[in-house]
Amino acid sequence: MKIASPSARQPAGVSKITFSVSLAGRCRIWYIFLMSQIRLIKLKSTKSPHVIWTRKNKKTVERKIELTKFDPTLKKRVLFKEAKK
């Protein structure tokens, strides 16, 4: 009975160690993102349909965000207000 070598069972250049470390790192990052107080919010322009996505720390900022940003559709700075996703 012949035992197959590890390289015969896996595609060339892929090792189990690097894959498992990579997978563990992704899971850890995803867990940190879920457990953190930082959430994605949508900022909508008050004068055009342009939308900007940004992050907000819900633990320290309870109010709705209003920022003045550059709107590329109007080519000037306008007020962006937090909108529902």
The number of domains in the chain is 1
Q: Does the residue 83 lie in any domain?
A: yes
Mean pLDDT by 10 residues, the chain (85 residues): 52 46 57 70 96 90 93 96 91
Question: Could you tell me the end-to-end alpha-carbon distance of the chain, in angstroms, rounded to an integer?
Answer: 60
User: Residue 73 sits in a domain of what CATH number?
Assistant: 2.20.28.120
The pLDDT of residue 19 is 41
Domain containing 77: what range?
37-85
Determine the Cα–Cα distance for residues 45 and 49; give it in Å rounded to an integer.
6
pTM as predicted: 0.57
Q: Does the residue 68 lie in any domain?
A: yes
Q: Does the residue 76 lie in any domain?
A: yes
**Cβ atoms within 10 Å of 50's Cβ, excluding its own:** 16
